[in-house]
Amino acid sequence: MDKGIIIAIDGWSSCGKSTLAKALAKKLAYGYIDTGAMYRACTLYFQSKNIDISNDAEVASALNNIQIGFKSIEGKNTTFLNGKNVEDAIRTMEVSSMVSPVAELSIVRRDLVRQQQEMGKDKSVVLDGRDIGTVVFPEAELKIFLTAEASIRAQRRFEELKAKGIEITLEEVIQNLNERDHIDSTRADSPLKQAKDAHLLDNSQLDLEASIDYVIQLIEAL
């Protein structure tokens, strides 16, 4: 069933984009590009170097020193920043609370979008993010806009963080999701929005298998 296509999955924070994207990539033997991880890796770097993100020159020179890559380790997609495994470090609340302001910066977006287009140019790839179907690959053959009820998203994220041993309250998770969704969907450059030709998938009441089946049917119909 390999049609050699680009599958773009966009949507709100914590609605299961990466879970669906990874499962599809595995099923189709496609590559997977976690674009959110790239914004997170930049944020981690800026935090570790105390970069003033309101200073364009400082940000530009920092970007020159950032190398982001992905490797599969024990079957798990793993993010590397300048050769170091940062998969866990980019998922902390510290990074989550700063990533949307970083992702608002056009200078950062320009750099990461170019890298994402290069990584996906050979197709047979699934990308998830906020602007994949609108900006990164507007010509993607299949676009999904994923959504789920806010309370369900917050509960899922809360349980995910708890399982990782991160101490956090449900209220803090809700606040972080609200803040990120607000910034991500109202920023001037590439705001989160559903592409005109994207299929809307609300997975509030669907399990992963049902979501995969839905997408596979769409692929078969292409």
Q: Enumerate binding residues for ligand DC (CB under 6 A).
A: 13, 35-36, 39-40, 99-100, 103, 129-131, 180, 184
- Kindly tell me which of 106 and 220 has the beta carbon lying closer to ligand DC: 106
- Kindly tell me which of 13 and 203 has the beta carbon lying closer to ligand DC: 13
- What are the tokens at 190? 């590439």
Least Å distance between CB 28 and ligand DC?
21
- Kindly tell me which of 100 and 203 has the beta carbon lying closer to ligand DC: 100
Least Å distance between CB 216 and ligand DC?
23
- Kindly tell me which of 28 and 99 has the beta carbon lying closer to ligand DC: 99
Closest by CA position to 130, among listed 87, 69, 183: 183
Least Å distance between CB 3 and ligand DC?
23
Least Å distance between CB 221 and ligand DC?
26
Say if CB 193 and CB 2 are below 8 A apart.
Answer: no
- Kindly tell me which of 100 and 147 has the beta carbon lying closer to ligand DC: 100
Least Å distance between CB 103 and ligand DC?
3
- Kindly tell me which of 2 and 56 has the beta carbon lying closer to ligand DC: 56
* 57: helix, strand or coil: helix
**CA dist., res. 46 & res. 59, Å (int):** 8
**CA dist., res. 213 & res. 221, Å (int):** 12
Query: What is the per-residue DSSP string for 94-130?
Result: HHHHHHHHHHT-HHHHHHHHHHHHHHHTT--EEEEES
Least Å distance between CB 35 and ligand DC?
4
Say if CB 153 and CB 31 are below 8 A apart.
Answer: no
Closest by CA position to 109, among listed 101, 119, 98: 101
Query: Which residue has 């990120």 as its token pair?
Result: 180
